[in-house]
Amino acid sequence: PWHHPSYAGALDQADRRALAALTASQPPGGAPCRFVSATRAAEVSRVDEQHWAAWLSQPVDFAGMVQRMATDMGLAPGACAVVEIGAHPVLGAMLLPLQPSLQVSSMCRDQPTKSWILEQRATLAAVADQPLRAALAGVTIGRGPGAPKLRLDVPFGAQGVTSVQYPALAEDLSAFFPGLKVFDLYRHPTVEKLLAEYGR
């Protein structure tokens, strides 16, 4: 929307009726996430019709939002906080007031998706390897009740994975390894090998 201020006059009555019909969303009770809207440069507890109408019809105040986070959100110095701003890495440069220790993005214009994600994940893993391994440790061999957990350092075959199970396992692991195919499990026979070698 900030690229196209001409959108402001494009919202007709039908558009506004459609926005009014949206059910406002809000985080469940006790959610650890807080939402700071760039349409208001303020923290909001629900995303409703007014939010989307503003998002579609006026430039956002991204700089104001960042300044609000830096001064009024109670982020203690040295505290660990994750700020998600969307897929545009160009906006990362505007986070300077927050003094980020690390920035990664899920995509970048004119960069191959797979190699970009793997490069960004390697950067993230340098400081946050344990959450990734913890998530991978939740993958099971098979999808039924009582399916055994996948061990990260043991070859797939030694864990009893059969050739019939490889396609499903590759599909489950592709959430962590973009573009993963069945033959990659033969080339990299453990999760540790995938972590060290896949895409490199």
State residue 48 phi and psi, 5-degree precision. Answer: -125, -165
Residue 58: C-alpha distances to residues 42, 53, 68, 87 (Å): 16, 8, 19, 20
Q: Which helix (H) or strand (E) holds 43?
A: strand 42-44
The model's pLDDT over 99-143, given as tens digits with 9 standing for 90+, comes to 777 788 877 888 888 888 888 878 877 776 777 788 888 899 988
Count of positions (residues) in the chain: 200
At 185 the pLDDT is: 95
Residue 145: C-alpha distances to residues 141, 148, 188, 192 (Å): 11, 9, 27, 25
State residue 42 phi and psi, 5-degree precision. Answer: -150, 155
* Confidence band for 83, pLDDT divided at 50, 70 and 90: confident
* Confidence band for 2, pLDDT divided at 50, 70 and 90: very low
The model's pLDDT over 88-111, given as tens digits with 9 standing for 90+, comes to 667 777 888 877 777 888 778 888
Residue 20: C-alpha distances to residues 5, 17, 23, 26, 50 (Å): 22, 5, 8, 16, 8
CA distance 184 to 170: 8
At 108 the pLDDT is: 81
Whether pLDDT at 19 is above 60: yes
Domains of the chain in sequence order:
5-98 (no CATH), 113-197 (1.10.1200)
* Confidence band for 40, pLDDT divided at 50, 70 and 90: confident
| Structure-block tokens of residue 144 | 């039924």
Contact yes or no for 169/176 (Cβ under 8 A):
no
Q: How confident is the model over 50-62, as a mean pLDDT? A: 80
At 31 the pLDDT is: 56
Is the pTM of the predicted complex or chain greater than 0.75? Answer: no
* Confidence band for 32, pLDDT divided at 50, 70 and 90: low
